Structure 1
């Protein structure tokens, strides 16, 4: 199921289609007849239950004498479709391309807020840890094996930690530090690297300790906030992009609540070193 932002966007597009049809003086039944559709299709499109394809929009605007609206409507529909993308679809051309695709977003963002309940945040990962994560992804999702290239792209991206006026507020659950990705040596290297990058002036790392009483700071899905313009959410089956201001505000509030129960500095480093010691 998509987020409410994607649903609202589909409904808004549907309302625009309805306005175009009514402006042409057509009933839904008559439009469906002309288009050769089942009558229920117009209802599904106009109520936002179904996202129209490019062909649907071309047919719609042609029969409503509104071809000048076609390009804008298609662009709108494609934008909605891009808000919720299954991982298999996103990664079918390879993991390298996925890593490259976010470069413009990272470059233009000044304030990053990252919450990770699954793995160490990508910008703070060691090369070995990234390789282990992406190898697992490739196996689970049966994507092309371009892991070496994908790792290289992600490592190169970490230059952003040292350049410009970017700022990074990172939060992780302590269990992320205790979850062994790869093997013990890989995990020890990743945690050592985490201590190192957490000391950078541009980085603030908070760790939410195991056993912390949870009130408002409830564990949620991993997400990244790019300024106040966009939130990317990692779901089990898909990648979700949130752009509705109201929803972005909800993620900002959640991030603030989680930040309030995290520990920082010496206390955070202590949790990391304890996790390293636990590896034996």
Structure 2
């Protein structure tokens, strides 16, 4: 619009849009459709930019996917897609501040977690099938050349997902996988001197993508500068974690606190 030297009123006229529609798009309250982008470029005599702008809009749509949309038919399909992504990844780095990462979850823990997610989102309940698909990720700990580097805030060990027995079994499972050569597990203690604040959970798939989990959506990050920030954050968080015997002691303490 700036290059074309037109204002919103003129854009509305050229595109035959109601002014309120133009206002919503210009102020970021509504995303333009592909037809809207074509009309906009034509109105600004910038047809040569149409293909690139449509490709960018499609990429943005793929990068930000609401959980309700992703789970609109249940959670099984999303778990199968996640398995495929992990299968194609050599090194997965996971920072978690709320729950145990899926590839380290027990059946009971995953079931309790997915029931609460399904209930909150109001999406179809296919928890049994979704849990079965999620547990398939656990086999990657034992086959191929996969490596999983996990940083967990101590809160993850203390938050109650499921009942007492579920939590004890889950924490015991963490202890059992720690000796595996494919797993490196660090715990960031409550008492750690923070050099970086607690963050939302995120996963780094080799050097090509970061997946960030918010309450409402999964965000795929591929922009090099943003990826570099997530890798730098992971490295900073790793310096605050404890490993080996001190990490096992924190897990054991959390188990003992369950009584």
> Tell me, what secondary structure is at the counterpart of 2:190?
coil
Across the aligned residues of Structure 1 and Structure 2, the Cα RMSD in angstroms comes to 2.6
Selected match of 2:107 from 127, 137, 142: 127
Equivalent in the alignment of 1:233: 212
3-state SS, counterpart of residue 172 of structure 1: strand
Aligned to 2:93: 113
- Residues 1:165 and 1:46: Cα distance change in structure 2 (over 3 Å): farther
TM alignment of 1:213-232, pairs within 5 A: 213-214=193-194, 216-232=195-211
Are 1:36 and 2:16 counterparts?
A: yes
1:204 matched residue in structure 2? 184
Residues 70-89 of structure 1: pairs in structure 2 closer than 5 A: 73-89=53-69
Aligned length: 259
Q: Structure 1 pair 46/109, CA: closer, same or farther in 2 (3 Å)? A: farther
Corresponding residue to 1:193 among 167, 170, 173: 173
Correspondence for 2:130:
150
1:101 alignment counterpart = 81
Instruction: Return closer, same or farther for 1:41/1:139 CA change in 2, 3 Å cut-off.
Output: closer
Distance 2:153 2:103 in 1: 16
CA distance in 2, matches of 1:104, 1:60: 38
> In 1, distance between residues paired with 2:197 and 2:14?
52
> Is the counterpart of residue 269 in structure 1 residue 243 in structure 2?
no
More deviation, 188-197/40-49: 40-49
* Residue 89 of structure 1: how far off its partner (Å): 1.9
Question: What is aligned with 1:14?
Answer: none
Once the two structures are superposed, residues 224-247 of structure 1 have per-residue CA deviations (whole angstroms, 9 ceiling, x without a partner) of: 111121111111222222121111
CA distance change for structure 1 residues 27 and 213 in 2, over 3 Å: closer, same or farther? closer
- Deviation of the 1:104 alpha carbon: 3.3
User: Unpaired segments of 5 or more residues in structure 2?
Assistant: none
| Aligned position for 1:182 | 162
Once residues 140 and 43 of structure 1 are traced to their aligned partners in structure 2, the CA distance between those partners, rounded to angstroms, is 33
**Residue 168 of structure 1 corresponds to which residue in structure 2?**
148
TM-score of the superposed pair, with normalisation by structure 2: 0.88
CA distance in 2, matches of 1:64, 1:104: 43
SS in 1 for 2:170: helix
Supply the distance in 2 between the matched residues of 1:140 and 1:99 (Cα, whole angstroms): 18
Q: What's 1:260 paired with?
A: 239
Distance, in Å, in 1 between the alignment partners of 2:73 and 2:130 is 12
Structure 1 unmatched runs, 5+: 1-17
Q: Deviations over 1:9-54 (max 9, x none)?
A: xxxxxxxxx59x84xx988655532321245866875787753212
Per-residue Cα deviation, 1:201-253 (whole angstroms, up to 9, x for no partner): 01100011122222x13211111111121111111222222121111111111
**TM-score when normalising by structure 1:** 0.82
Q: CA deviation at 1:129?
A: 0.5
